[in-house]
Amino acid sequence: MALSQTGIRRWYLVHKWTSIVCTAFLLMFCITGLPLIFHHEIDELTRAPVLSEQTEGTASLDAVAADAVGKHPGWHNIFISYDEEEPIIYAAVGPTLTAGDDTGKLYLYDARSGEHLNAPPFDEGVMAFLLDLHAHLLMGIPGQLFLGVVGLVFLVAVISGVVVYAPFMRRLSFGTVRKDRSKRVKWLDTHNMVGIVTLGWVTVVGLTGFIITMTVPIQAIWQMDQLAEMAAPYKDAQPPEKLASVDAAVATVRNAVPDAKVSFVSWPGTQFSTTHHYMVALAGDTPLTERLINPAMVDAETGELTDVRDMPWYVQTLFLSVPLHFGDYGGLPLKIIWALLDIAAIVVLVTGLYLWLGRRRVPIEKRIAELNSGGLAEPAE
C-alpha cells in the first residue's frame, strides 16, 4: 500500500535524524570492527604464546588453578576455560570472586603439560584498545549500555531508510545508478543501492551488537532466575570451608554426560555459579554451537553432580550473537565476506554523510509531488 505524502514525510524525517544521530558512532563501529573480525588471526601472528611440540597429555586443573592464584596471595580463582582452537587453558584470578577484567588477571597454560605460558596481557596492545573502544567507548559498562541505545537508533534508521527508498526508486530497476544524471544523483543512487544490498547484513550485525550490549542485564536476569533456582536448596547451608578437587568435579560431569565438551569451569561465588557449586559449562561440537553452553552444577564440598540444565533462550541468544556479530563461526572465508560487507557499510555511511553535508534546499513535499506526477524524483536524502 502506497504511503501518503504525510506518511513519506514522517518516515523521511525519522530516517534523516536517526541517521544523523548515529552516523559517527556507526563509522567508529565499522572502522574498529574491521580489524576485530580478524582479531584471532592478528593475535596469532603478533601475540601467540610459544607452545611445545608435545602432542599428548592432560594438565591438572587443580595444579593450574593453584599456580595462578599463587601468583597473588590472598586472591581467588574465578574461572578456568579452554581455548577453542589451541591446546591452551586460561586461568582467571582476582582480588574478589566477582572481579572483572579491570582488576583481575588472566594467565595462560599449556593444556597438555600445565606449563605456564608467557604471553602479552590480553588487556594491552592495539587490538585490546580497539575492542574496548568498539564495545565500551573506553567507558566500561556505562559506555556499553549507551552503545545499546545507539544500536536501537541505528535499527530505526535502517527500517525507515527502506521505507523511504522504496517509493522514490520504484520506477527504476533494482540497483540502478543513473550515471547520466548529476554527480549528486549518482551519489544518492550509490548510497541507496549499496544500502539495500547490505540491508540483511547490517540488520544482523546491528541487532546482535545491541544484544551484546545487553550482556550485563541479561546476566543479571539469569542470576535472579535460573541460577537462583539452582541455589535454592542451599539457601540455609553454610558456604563450603574446603573445596573439592576441580579435576574430580570435571570428571564427574564427563562421566554423567559422556559426550560433553567442557568449555570452562567457574568457581563457587562467581558470577556464573552459586556459593556452593562449581559450574562446569558444557559446549556444543560445531563452530556455532560451541559458543552455546549448558551449566552442570557440582557441589563444591562433596563433588557430587546436582544439576544439569539448558541455558534459557535469552542467554543462548546472547551466546549466539557474538560469533554472528563478528562472523566468527565459518572460518576465514566467512570473515572475508564479513569484512567486505563492513567496507560496503562504510561506503553507505560516507556517502550518506557527504549527501547530508551538501544537501539541497528542496523541500521533501516538492520531491513527493514530482514522484506522484509520474516523474523520476530524486531519492530522499
Domain definitions of the chain by residue range: 5-40+129-212+331-372, 48-119
Q: How far apart are CA 364 and CA 342, in angstroms?
A: 30
pLDDT, residue 381, reads 44
- Average of per-residue pLDDT across 142-164: 88
pLDDT of residue 2: 57
pLDDT tens-digit map of 20-30:
888 889 999 99
Residue 117's pLDDT is 92
Mean pLDDT value across residues 48-72: 90
pLDDT digits (tens, 9 = 90+) for 63-107: 999 999 999 999 999 999 998 888 999 999 999 998 887 788 999
Banded pLDDT at 279 (limits 50, 70, 90):
very high
Residue 218 scores a pLDDT above 90: yes
Q: Taking the CB of residue 239, how many other CB atoms lie within 10 A of it?
A: 13
Give the span between the Cα atoms of 46 and 43, in whole angstroms: 5
Name the E strands within the chain.
76-82, 88-94, 105-110, 116-117, 261-266, 277-283, 293-299, 305-308
pLDDT at residue number 260:
77
Whether pLDDT at 380 is above 50: no
What cell was used for 128? Answer: 585490546
Distance CA 200, CA 203 (A): 5
What end-to-end distance do the CA atoms of the chain give, in Å?
22
Q: 26 burial class (0-12, 13-18, 19+ CB within 10 angstroms)? A: buried
By the 8 A CB rule, do 355 and 25 touch? no
pLDDT at position 281: 94
pLDDT of 288 strictly over 90 = no
DSSP 111-159: TTT--EE----TTSSHHHHHHHHHHHTTSHHHHHHHHHHHHHHHHHHHH
Residue 64: which residues within 8 A CB-CB, separation 6 or more?
A: 80, 89, 91, 109, 114
Q: How confident is the model at residue 113 (pLDDT cuts 50, 70, 90)?
A: very high
List, for residues 296-329, the tens digit of each pLDDT value.
999 999 999 999 998 999 999 999 998 889 988 8
Residue 280's nearest CA partner among 171, 102, 268, 215 is: 268
Rounded Cα distance, 50 and 153, in Å:
44
